[in-house]
Amino acid sequence: MAPRPPLSARVRAVEVLREVLERGGRATAELAQASRGLSREDGDLLREIVLGVLRQRARLDAELSTASRVALTRLTPDLREILEVALYQVRHLDRVPAYAAVDEAVAHAKARGGVGAAGLVNAVLRNLLRRSPLPSGEGTGATALALLYSHPEFLVRRWLDRFGEETTRRILEADNAHSGLDLMTNTRRTDRARLAAALEADGVSTEPSWLSPLALTVLAGNPLRSPLFAAGHFTVQDAASQALPLLLPPGETLVDLAAAPGGKSFSAVLHGRARRAVALDRSVARLNLLRENRVRLGIFEVLPAAGDVLAAPLAPRGFERVLFDAPCSGTGTLRKNPEIRYRVTPESIARLARAQEEGLVAAADLLAPGGFLLYSTCSLEEEENEAVVERVLARRPEIEPAAIAVSGELAACVSGNRFQILPASANDGFTAHLLRRVTG
């Protein structure tokens, strides 16, 4: 039997979307798996299609629904994604000829569902090719913006109430922007300027980020293919996440809870905010990744430890610095994790807020008198941030807010004990609060 020909990037895109949308997979992990064996060009195309469909799905489906005689939710497996992938290429990718996208979609549909499926896909796509794209729309309400930017309407509505229309539009636009990697310079090996120059020689273009003196944002190229990665000259870490340890006063020992794969622990040591860090996580797989990073970077002051935040194998009131970056809804990270928008609900936010409260209480109980605790999330939602802190302060009267002292551009993101940066084209969104234990 002849070997099966390799699947094209477009066919693999359909498979990845099915894994993400129907089976709960993570887009970044599924893309890494599906990219194996592809050329760099096809790997880039696969990533562009998958992330593009996830960012534009509501608009794509609205247009497809005008031409399909069958409701999209009733189509046989894969057909909806085949249509979405083809239409995304037609409407958003200049380098992909429309006829090629349609022909491959029809062939894929025939292989998956027979002649009838191929006929439906052919009819829908060719019908849409004869039409102009849906108008971008000028609506300002939550319903119009949710469709325009493919976001949950409840999320858009609460952002409009909290941030106003102008800021909400900026967040939505940032969420749908192309996302690159952020790198954190390992100053044990090099400095930021020398790293940028060395990466440029390897075909990787970067620019410095204002958020962290160690951060570079990748503009073009794949830094993970550079030998500098294996040599430990940098690690991958969102620029805003790198900046979080800068909100802590310098100290001797930091406990980083839910720490793996260790980016904030490494950042704290490299930025001089801690001489050593105990990096606690309950996931053995993620701790193994932290250990690999520790060796690759040569930052042995980060000490991995297995344990749950709620029952940490650490001395109560024994640490002068604690960082709790809590598991959260991730509404500040839709730029890099667009699939979150199809999973987040008011109920899931409320459920996470309850877990965050218990985690923050446990983190506060590790804090020594006079010590500082930084509570952070990659969520923009008040329920997961301000409301959690307020309830914990009521439960632990010996804990109080502490003013964040930072300089430069970061200072514009600080209000008292709260730091918040909203999503932008070059960073995710984060919220953090600084607390202090005033008595034993």
Q: Encoding tokens for residue 94?
A: 């200049």
Q: Which domain holds residue 151?
A: 144-172
Residue 140's pLDDT is: 74
Residues 163 and 292 grouped into a single domain:
no
Residue 135's pLDDT is: 72
pLDDT at 439 over 90: no
Query: Computed from CA positions of residues 372, 378, 383, 384, in that sequence, does the dihedral angle turn out positive or negative?
Result: negative
Tell whether 350 is covered by a domain. Answer: yes
Q: Nearest 5 degrees, angle CA 236-CA 254-CA 272?
A: 65
Residues 163 and 95 grouped into a single domain:
no
Residue with tokens 């905010």: 273
Check if the beta carbon of residue 318 is closer than 8 Å to that of residue 368.
yes
The arrangement of strands across the sheet holding 205-208 comes to: 205-208, 215-220, 182-185, 234-236
Percent pLDDT > 90 in the chain is 77
Q: Which of 74-78, 190-194, 356-360 has the lowest mean pLDDT?
A: 74-78
Q: Which CATH number do you get for residue 193?
A: 3.30.70.1170
Residues 31 and 151 grouped into a single domain:
no
Report how far residue 330's alpha carbon sits from residue 20's, in angstroms, rounded to the nearest whole number: 16
User: What single string gives the DSSP state of each residue in 328-369?
Assistant: ---TT-TTT-GGGGGT--HHHHHHHHHHHHHHHHHHHTTEEE
Residues 187 and 96 grouped into a single domain:
no
Q: What does the pLDDT look like over 384-414, one tens digit per residue?
A: 999 999 999 999 999 999 999 998 889 999 9
Average pLDDT over residues 33-54: 91
Q: Encoding tokens for residue 50?
A: 């998958």
Report how far residue 39's alpha carbon sits from residue 60's, in angstroms, rounded to the nearest whole number: 27
Residues 38 and 99 grouped into a single domain:
yes
Residues 271 and 301 grouped into a single domain:
yes
Check if the beta carbon of residue 276 is closer than 8 Å to that of residue 304.
no
pLDDT at 5 over 50: no
Percent pLDDT > 70 in the chain is 97
Residues 125 and 252 grouped into a single domain:
no
Residues 81 and 228 grouped into a single domain:
no
Q: Which CATH number do you get for residue 280?
A: 3.40.50.150
Residues catalogued as catalytic: 378
Residues 230 and 245 grouped into a single domain:
no
Domain count, the chain: 4
Q: Encoding tokens for residue 435?
A: 């607390």
Residue 3's pLDDT is: 38
Tell whether 211 is covered by a domain. Answer: yes
Q: Which CATH number do you get for residue 88?
A: 1.10.940.10
pLDDT at 162 over 90: yes
User: What single string gives the DSSP state of each residue in 282-319?
Assistant: S-HHHHHHHHHHHHHHT-TTEEEEE--GGG-SS-TT-E
Tell whether 338 is covered by a domain. Answer: yes
- By C-alpha distance, which of 212, 312, 321 is closest to 277? 321
pLDDT at 2 over 70: no
Average pLDDT over residues 225-248: 93
- What's the whole-model pTM score? 0.91
Tell whether 3 is covered by a domain. Answer: no
Residue 98's pLDDT is: 87
